[in-house]
Structure 1
Amino acid sequence: MSVTKVPAKAWAIVALLFGFMMINFADKIIVGLAGVPIMTDLQLTPKQFGLGGIELFLLFSISAVVTGFLVNRIRSKWALLAMGVVWALVQFPMLGTIGIEALIACRIVLGAGEGPAYPVALHAAYKWFPDDRRTLPSAIISQGASIGVIIVVPLLTWIITKYSWHSAFGTLGAVGLLWVLLWAIWGAEGEGDVMAKPVNSGEADHIPYGTLLLNPTNLASWCSYFGAYFGLALVLSWFTPWLIKVLGFSQAVAGQLTALPFVVGFVVVISGGWLSEWMMRRGWGSRVARGLLTGAALVIGGLALLAAPYVAGVALKIALVLVGVAVPSIVYATSPAMLGEITPPQQRGAILGINSAVGTSAGILAPYLMGSMIEGAASAAEGYGLGFSICGLVTLVGGIIGLLFLHPEAQRARFAVLKPAAIQAG
């Protein structure tokens, strides 16, 4: 089977977007990593700290949707550049003595800047790659998050313990400005598919948004993404405190262990993305290579999280949480690829933005729910256990929905036979 070639510049863009997502997730993990010092310094209860974790996601989803529609009309390069500037500048107020109000305000602004990051990065990359070559670039870009945590967490942990959590925020701001400079110089816009007409004249080049949003594959993608992100949101805010408060690790050791979910996630997503693309290029349908692969990963993760509170031994508990959070992460590569497969290029930015907005809305619920469980339980261990069980159930349900309803090939075929009159009537 012939392999579709892509220009060398495409992989340079992927590398830059990989760095973009490294910074994105380092910005997210910093509050969880410094959770205990922040709670101590600002005298916060677990519920208050959990509420602080929500603030990042207040404008996260709204911004993802708005920017998704915007990048259908403007160059992705400038949208990404603006986001990078916002991320960097919002870190610097943390260098001074602040209260919870200032921390919350900065995290809200950060969330507005970071909400569109992943869908816009993918939209920019998809301009350089054909459909059957998109899953691996998606996996690489998404795992900039994992590598960012792996590389940055040891450094930030050292800064937190040696200096303060304030200095750690300032370091992230400086790194963000460096990426902005690199992207301004070398970032480029693909000349590929956004303005292109469909290859198959029977395919619609525009589909009503109601039809795009309410088809079963899109709805199942939302559910799968939400189920996977629920676990990620818990890890971002609560994994380090869980290691310290329940499992008894020191701040320094817990900070190092915080990288584990992202190390495992990196291996899973890159391997899964490569496997999915390999299957697609050898004739497997996207129903199997993308849809069933996604649903199965979430089911495995959900079952692991449900089991984690009930097993004995620290190592086994950590291992099950790692499986529960990392294995479902493959959805970050496969879900956008499926939606890119069924969506006309001129509408892709908006659909990817909406998908990300719905999925990441789990971040509004998960941190606060865990904080409430901890504060209302007889012990920290009981509260964390209940929180992980709820997360496992959400992930499991998302996986089952994915197994049943992710049918991108069939959905694309249904869109392809829509008549022009039906499109206009919609």
Structure 2
Amino acid sequence: MDGHSTPKGAWRITFLLFLFMVVNFADKIVVGLAGVPITQELGLTPEQFGLLGSSFFFLFSITAVVVGFVVNRVDTRWVLLVLALIWAVAQFPMVGTVSFTTLLICRIILGAGEGPAFAVAAHAIYKWFPDHKRTLPTAILSQGSAFGVILAVPALNWIIVNHSWHYAFGALGIVGLMWAAAWLALGKEGPLVPTAAMAAAETRIPYARLLTSRTFIGCVAATFGAYWALSLGLTWFTTYIISGLGFSQHQAGLISITPWVFGAAVVMLTGWLSQLLMGRGASSRLARGVLGAAPLVLGGLILLTMPLIDNPTGRIAALVIGSGLCGSIYVVCPPMIAEFAPVSQRGAAIAIYGALYTLAGIVAPLVMGSVVQHAASLNEGYLTGYVINGAVMIVSGLLGLLLLWPNTERARLLSSSDVAPVGLRKPA
């Protein structure tokens, strides 16, 4: 393998990992989709429901970092299998009668298993594609989030409406076991890894320098704003449609698909356009950095208009478009980090990036819950929460535009006197 061509089987692995992310986001969306019946059955306040949404992320970042270092030494094939099994097992306790505490604990366990998912999957895919061909597979992997919701919402909502929200969790557990069986049979480790000689010659960058580089900080800042919007979509969107705008559970289930359909289009368009620009010689600063960060600013500005719109359809449209534009940043940041992070450190670097930006998942649902509970009316509380979301996105996008310079980052990092080829460094 010359390192410039795509190995046989790469797209099969990409499809399996796409399905991995489909399951991942179906698991995430179920609490938000069943938010109203869960709240009614368990007697939850808005702040308690916000806590339930945030609980998913309590261990999310910690496990993302830990597993990120693990995959520097352990084959991603086995790590992905273990993660999928954790997801499945964490769903089954909700099939029977469950307390708020049990539901909270299961969501924390699920979040611990899902925290490393995208970083490990991206690291696995990068063992199958050379650098100049990674943006499109990354976009497909990111699409798993949208399709996880698009495919899962109608099925899960049918179960919720016609049977019980409890059975929706059980269905997800069964699907998780099915993916694990398919991966065990078909999953393989990619061949594009350094040889022993290449690893010995590879320059290693101290993590303190790598993680404080301008582009790494820019990726974290920009994606933090995007994930603020995403976590609100996972937790609060359906509840807002029902409680804030007056739609039924059945109607809300159909409407809840729209942000993910739009987001899917944004992600695929970004992946295609980024790879096209790179192929035509554009710098990754433009083809990845600007292309990923600018839509955040535009999306945030659109969310700021929501209080000025006086009809439900217009507000849904602003929320769908404003939040959906965030998808661009997920496509471009992992390839940007892979541009300057040494291969032996890439898995950990992408995982730490994920651990940091997903901290928004802890904060955003809690902020929305607190704002809604203390507002003069439910509708006023939701609108204030989405205006806050818009402001966060604008700041994050501007920081991304300022800091994302991946095309020159590696040269800056290697110019330091404290980096040296791995083979010349003293053993740790």
- Indicate the SS of the match to 1:73: coil
C-alpha distance in 2, partners of 1:299/1:48?
31
C-alpha distance in 2, partners of 1:419/1:235?
45
Conserved 8 A contact 1:195-1:346: no
**Residues 422 and 84 (structure 1), Cα distance of their counterparts in 2 relative to 1, 3 Å cut:** closer
Alignment of 1:16-415 (within 5 A): 16-195=16-195, 205-415=203-413
C-alpha distance in 1, partners of 2:21/2:157?
20
Quote the RMSD (CA, aligned, Å): 1.8
Conserved 8 A contact 2:209-2:413: no
C-alpha distance in 2, partners of 1:352/1:35?
32
State the Cα distance separating 1:43 from its structure 2 match. 0.6
1:395 alignment partner AA: M
C-alpha distance in 2, partners of 1:198/1:271?
35
Question: Larger deviation: 183-192 or 304-313?
Answer: 304-313
2:37 alignment partner AA: P
- Indicate the SS of the match to 1:228: helix
Query: What whole-Å deviation, never above 9, does each CA across 1:257-285 have from its counterpart, x for those lacking one?
Result: 11111111111001101110111111000
Aligned residues: 421
**Residues 421 and 32 (structure 1), Cα distance of their counterparts in 2 relative to 1, 3 Å cut:** closer
C-alpha distance in 1, partners of 2:211/2:417?
19
State the Cα distance separating 1:28 from its structure 2 match. 0.4
State the Cα distance separating 1:5 from its structure 2 match. 2.7
C-alpha distance in 1, partners of 2:236/2:411?
43
Conserved 8 A contact 2:205-2:414: no
C-alpha distance in 1, partners of 2:79/2:89?
16
Conserved 8 A contact 1:68-1:354: yes
State the Cα distance separating 1:410 from its structure 2 match. 1.1
- Aligned residues: percent identity? 50
- Indicate the SS of the match to 2:22: helix
1:409 alignment partner AA: N
- Indicate the SS of the match to 1:93: helix
- Indicate the SS of the match to 1:8: coil
Question: Larger deviation: 415-424 or 309-318?
Answer: 415-424
2:360 alignment partner AA: A
Conserved 8 A contact 1:286-1:408: yes
C-alpha distance in 2, partners of 1:323/1:143?
17
**Residues 120 and 114 (structure 1), Cα distance of their counterparts in 2 relative to 1, 3 Å cut:** same
State the Cα distance separating 1:194 from its structure 2 match. 4.7
**Residues 400 and 195 (structure 1), Cα distance of their counterparts in 2 relative to 1, 3 Å cut:** farther
State the Cα distance separating 1:318 from its structure 2 match. 1.0
Which stretches in structure 2 are left out of the alignment for 5+ residues? none
1:412 alignment partner AA: R
Conserved 8 A contact 1:296-1:399: yes
C-alpha distance in 2, partners of 1:141/1:6?
17
Query: What whole-Å deviation, never above 9, does each CA across 1:158-196 have from its counterpart, x for those lacking one?
Result: 000000000000000000000000000000001113557
1:89 alignment partner AA: V
C-alpha distance in 2, partners of 1:220/1:165?
39
**TM-score, normalization by structure 1:** 0.96
Conserved 8 A contact 2:292-2:331: no
Conserved 8 A contact 1:135-1:333: yes
C-alpha distance in 2, partners of 1:212/1:188?
29
Query: What whole-Å deviation, never above 9, does each CA across 1:68-111 have from its counterpart, x for those lacking one?
Result: 00100000000000000000011010011010000001001000
Conserved 8 A contact 2:7-2:191: no
**TM-score, normalization by structure 2:** 0.95
State the Cα distance separating 1:300 from its structure 2 match. 1.0
Conserved 8 A contact 1:309-1:388: no
Query: What whole-Å deviation, never above 9, does each CA across 1:279-298 have from its counterpart, x for those lacking one?
Result: 11110000000011111011
State the Cα distance separating 1:421 from its structure 2 match. 6.1
2:30 alignment partner AA: I
Query: What whole-Å deviation, never above 9, does each CA across 1:371-406 have from its counterpart, x for those lacking one?
Result: 100000000111001100111111110100011110
C-alpha distance in 1, partners of 2:179/2:419?
47
Conserved 8 A contact 1:22-1:148: yes
Conserved 8 A contact 2:205-2:419: no
- Indicate the SS of the match to 1:387: helix
C-alpha distance in 2, partners of 1:71/1:365?
28
State the Cα distance separating 1:58 from its structure 2 match. 0.3
